[in-house]
Amino acid sequence: MPRPNPLLRFFRHYEGPRIHKWIHYFEIYHRHFARFRDEPVTILEFGVNQGGSLRMWEHYFHDDSKIVGVDIDERCRQFEGGNVSIEIGDQEDRTFLRSLVEKHGPFDVVIEDGGHQMGQQIATFEEIYPAMSEEGCFLIEDLHTSYWPGYQGGLLREGTFIEYAKRLSDQLHAWHSKQDDFVVDTFTETTRSMHFYDSVVVFERGTVTKPVARKRGTDYFDVRDGQGRTQPGQPGQPGQPG
């Protein structure tokens, strides 16, 4: 049987400052953050609110980890102490975001649970993600606001973080482009994967080089390409293993 999720177990027995989370988030957190638990790491969380999630991260990650909470509400300073630092500022302010990187970075884990406005989310990703550690993990949650008019959202509406993330999923595949205006960029070379969940997108960083295909074994028959031409089997062609 799978071992219990320590984050969900913590939440179910927790009685401190408020934590407010969708329950399905806990599995996502543990799936992507478990690999960071054995060594000290630097965690950045946007959206301190009542301070409860900071306590959860303190419990979950290594005792010597550094946790930075960001909020626009000055009252959140009361949650600073021990290995927790609090920074007050507007996450749509790119100068402020760069100051976080300079003062506390690079970050290994980022949880974006801030103001949920589209400009805030995109600015935060564009300024923080490139400055993360090489194997870092950026998780942005509550993306249902991309569909809510009150947050400048709506289905297929340009400018939402969901539409922004969809375009980034294309960029993962830029190695295979045949178009002059669709080329490999820094995101392509530093992102191993993107994971889409209900209201959450997770970006996992890493050094990525141009994919290489190889063959082993013997072809027993030729295949035809999309234009009906006969050619030796190629990875990814019908009838052949990729």
Asked whether the predicted pLDDT for residue 158 surpasses 90, the reply is yes
Please pick, among 30, 59, 116, 176, the residue that the annotation labels catalytic. 116
Mean pLDDT along residues 193-197: 98
CB burial readout 132-166, b (16+ within 10 A) else e: beeebbbbbbbbebbeeeebebeeeeeebbbbbbe
The overall average pLDDT reported for the chain is 92
Mean pLDDT along residues 53-81: 97
Q: How far apart are CA 233 and CA 239, in angstroms?
A: 8
DSSP 71: E
User: Is 116 one of the catalytic residues?
Assistant: yes
Model pLDDT, residue 1: 60
**Cα separations (Å) of 19 from 47, 53, 65, 125, 135?**
11, 6, 20, 23, 28
* Contact yes or no for 147/161 (Cβ under 8 A): no
Report yes or no on whether pTM surpasses 0.75: yes
**Cα separations (Å) of 82 from 11, 112, 190?**
21, 22, 33
Question: Comparing 50-54, 163-167, 234-238, which segment has the lowest mean pLDDT?
Answer: 234-238
Asked whether the predicted pLDDT for residue 215 surpasses 60, the reply is yes
Say if strands 200-205 and 137-140 run parallel, antiparallel, or are unpaired: antiparallel
**Cα separations (Å) of 210 from 35, 137, 165, 179?**
25, 21, 22, 16
Maximum Cα–Cα distance for the chain, whole Å?
71
Q: How far apart are CA 112 and CA 48, in angstroms?
A: 10
Q: How far apart are CA 15 and CA 20, in angstroms?
A: 12
Mean pLDDT along residues 14-43: 96
Asked whether the predicted pLDDT for residue 198 surpasses 90, the reply is yes
Q: Which two tokens stand for residue 203?
A: 């970006």
Model pLDDT, residue 220: 84
Mean pLDDT along residues 163-190: 96
Q: Residue 106, preceding bond cis, omega within 30 degrees?
A: yes
Asked whether the predicted pLDDT for residue 242 surpasses 60, the reply is no
Phi, psi of 124 (to 5 degrees): -60, -45
Q: Which two tokens stand for residue 240?
A: 């052949």
Mean pLDDT along residues 202-221: 92
Cα distance from N-terminal residue to C-terminal residue, the chain: 33
Query: In terms of pLDDT, which residue wins out, 234 or 193?
Result: 193
Q: Which among 134, 192, 144, 151 is positioned nearest to 168, based on CA atoms?
A: 192
Asked whether the predicted pLDDT for residue 226 surpasses 80, the reply is no
Mean pLDDT along residues 188-205: 98
Asked whether the predicted pLDDT for residue 237 surpasses 80, the reply is no
DSSP 181: T
Asked whether the predicted pLDDT for residue 241 surpasses 70, the reply is no
For 77, other C-beta atoms within 10 Å of its C-beta total: 15
